[in-house]
Amino acid sequence: MGFDSLVFFCSEALTNLRRAGVMTFVTVSTIAVALLLMGTFLLATMNMEFFLDRLQEEAMVTAFLVPGTASDRVSALKLQVTGFEEVSDVTVVTPEAAARELFTDPADQNLLQIGLGEGNNPLPYTIRMKVRSAADLPGLLAKLKAMPQVESVGYGEEAFRQFQGLSQLLWIGSVLVIILLGLSSLFIVYNTVRLTLFMRREEVVIMKLVGATNWFIRWPFIIEGFIHGLLGAALALVLLLFGAPFIMARLAALVPFFTFDLAAAHLFKLSIKLCLMGIVLGISGSLLSLRDLNAFGREM
Amino acid sequence: MIELQNVSKIYPNGVRALNDVSLSIPAGDFVFLVGPSGAGKSTFLRILFREEIPTEGKVMVDGKDIVGMPDGRVPYLRRNLGIVLQDFQLLKRRTVAENVAFGLRVIGAPENVINARVQETLETVGLSHKRRMFPDELSGGEQQRVCVARAVVNNPLILITDEPTGNLDPMISLEIMQLFLDINARGTTVIMATHNHHLVNKLRKRVIALVEGRLIKDEPGGTYAYE
């Protein structure tokens, strides 16, 4: 495509957008509403993922050593674990300290005097550590479990699994919503472009008469689809970015332990995703409507 | 230039528009296509610019078999043809100059070439002073002249016209006819379907007559009569 042709296509597209004012408004609004809903779900999923990552990062991994492990062996193990690149902070908890933690209630302190004295404390040495990032957790768990002195490893997996399940559910829900909304808005965009094409039928027939290729006819419509998608995404983003803090504040009030993140990097990613989705919607709607151009002009 | 061998066209509703038509039109010829309504004249012309595909037979245009031509090649065939129809077919929201330029834009001609050719062609049809006007601001004859300008702006090998004077009064028809004769004098083959017997009888060009889809007359320097 030459530069003159590109300028011609763009000017055609802009003229057509202006002329078909109502149609343009309908298409852009449809894409905007669909993207607003998709964006809300994406935002919720992104927050959930962020929350889970933080949960994993803040979780303490506890390695329970085999009962009877000697204290010098424990010190050696601590040194070894400290050397792991996945670990950021290591603490050794002696059986006595573990017992004291276990019986924090003053009433239970007496048990320490009665049954859990020197020599008959059944609690093992434990090594507690923090992971540097959530992604390091599986690697660290594998390493710890492979150590013969480690009897078992705990990291609050139950709560974590529940959140992960919730996150997966939200993710599946988002994908479904995105597909359904995508298809329905694609259908509306398709019909709108079809109507515009019908309005410009005479023009298309004349274009074909003077030797225009199908792609020559399609390009202005594709550029229109691109602009529709971009405008729809921009509108959705404005609404989402103004509305999101309000929605997040309401959600934070409902679920106090949940932290909601609206960091600039995340919002930038979301904006890019929505713009791309808008453009794909606009262009594919146009392309779908223009697939049977060869039939045009038969009834001339 | 144009060759038809045993061409027949039967529409899906069973109507036989052309029946075993064979003829040849050399380059630079001027041909009147006559016959009553429904004789197959329009179908004949539409086959030439591959708007219709014959049910049987072979059609060669400028050495190319256009029956088996893939759809993707049809635009390139049409770039060598100028087409003028009865109902003007102008883009109402574009000026005279933009309408004429359209024929060059679709072939990707550069802007300076477009401007020069449009000016030249509008001068040929006598409309350069109305280049900025819109079709609705022109008379019927002027609109048809714009169509002719658009059809010839990229120097086509063949000019195909279907009842180009059908909506025009006799004086204006003569003006349009003179344009076709001028274009033909420059070497373009002209094929014109018409009911205007005055023009046909006056100009005495080759006359091809179709009746019920059959070729019943092919006469050089002929008259309108086909009964």
Overall average pLDDT of the A130-154 stretch: 84
Average pLDDT of every residue of chain A? 80
Position A109 pLDDT exceeds 70: no
CB contact under 8 Å between B106 and A203, yes or no, is no
Which residues does chain B have within 8 Å of residue A214's beta carbon, measured at their own beta carbons?
72, 75
Q: Domains of chain A: which residue ranges?
A: 3-55+161-295, 60-155
| pLDDT digits 0-9 by tens, B141-157 | 889 889 989 988 988 99
Residue A114 one-letter amino acid: I
Query: DSSP alpha helices (H): ranges in chain A?
Result: 3-19, 21-58, 71-82, 95-102, 109-114, 137-145, 157-199, 201-209, 214-254, 264-289
Label residue B30 by pLDDT band (50, 70, 90). Answer: very high
| pLDDT digits 0-9 by tens, B96-106 | 999 999 888 88
CB contact under 8 Å between A2 and B103, yes or no, is no
Instruction: Name which residue leads in pLDDT, A167 or B116.
Output: B116
Q: Is A206 on the interface with B (CB under 8 A)?
A: yes
* Res B220: pLDDT: 92
Overall average pLDDT of the A128-151 stretch: 84
Average pLDDT of every residue of chain B? 90
* Res B157: pLDDT: 92
Position B126 pLDDT exceeds 90: no
Label residue A300 by pLDDT band (50, 70, 90). Answer: very low
Overall average pLDDT of the A187-216 stretch: 84
Distance (Å) from the alpha carbon of B151 to chain A's nearest alpha carbon: 7
Q: Is A6 on the interface with B (CB under 8 A)?
A: no
Per the DSSP assignment, residues forming a β-bridge with A103 are none
Q: Which of A236-240, A265-269, B28-32, B108-112 has the highest mean pLDDT?
A: B28-32
* Res B138: pLDDT: 92
Label residue B87 by pLDDT band (50, 70, 90). Answer: confident
Distance (Å) from the alpha carbon of B57 to chain A's nearest alpha carbon: 20
Q: Is A255 on the interface with B (CB under 8 A)?
A: no
> What's the per-residue H, E or C state across B6-74?
EEEEECCCCCEEEEEEEEEECCCCEEEEECCCCCCHHHHHHHHCCCCCCCEEEEEECCEECCCCCHHHH
Distance (Å) from the alpha carbon of B162 to chain A's nearest alpha carbon: 12
Token representation of residue B75: 């635009």
Q: Is A10 on the interface with B (CB under 8 A)?
A: no
CB contact under 8 Å between A211 and B111, yes or no, is no
Instruction: Name which residue leads in pLDDT, A18 or B62.
Output: B62
* Res A299: pLDDT: 43
Question: Would you tell me which CATH number, out of the four given (3.30.70.980, 3.40.50.300, 3.30.70.3040, 3.40.50.10070), belongs to the domain A60-155?
Answer: 3.30.70.3040
Question: Pairing mode, if any, of strands B30-34 and B189-193?
Answer: parallel
- d(CA B210, CA A279) in angstroms, rounded, equals 54
* Res A107: pLDDT: 64
Name the residue among A205, A171, A162, A202 with its Cα closest to residue A55. A162
Which residue carries 């029956």 as its tokens?
A: B67
| pLDDT digits 0-9 by tens, A62-85 | 889 888 888 888 888 888 888 888
CB contact under 8 Å between A298 and B79, yes or no, is no
Overall average pLDDT of the B187-201 stretch: 91
B66 and B2 Cβ atoms separated by less than 8 Å = no
- d(CA A267, CA A261) in angstroms, rounded, equals 10
Which of A211, A214, A297 lies at the smallest CB-CB distance from B79? A211
When scoring A206, A215, A216 by the number of chain B Cβ atoms within 10 A, the one with the most, hence best to mutate, is A206
- d(CA A154, CA A63) in angstroms, rounded, equals 7
Confidence check on the interface: ipTM exceeds 0.95, yes or no:
no
Identify the closest residue of chain A to B156 by CA–CA distance: A210
CB contact under 8 Å between A207 and B83, yes or no, is no
Position A213 pLDDT exceeds 60: yes
Instruction: Name which residue leads in pLDDT, A87 or A247.
Output: A87
Overall average pLDDT of the A254-267 stretch: 66
| pLDDT digits 0-9 by tens, B51-71 | 899 999 999 999 899 998 998
* Res B71: pLDDT: 87
Ramachandran quadrant class, A179 (left: phi over 0; alpha: psi -120 to 50; beta: rest) = alpha
Q: Is A211 on the interface with B (CB under 8 A)?
A: yes
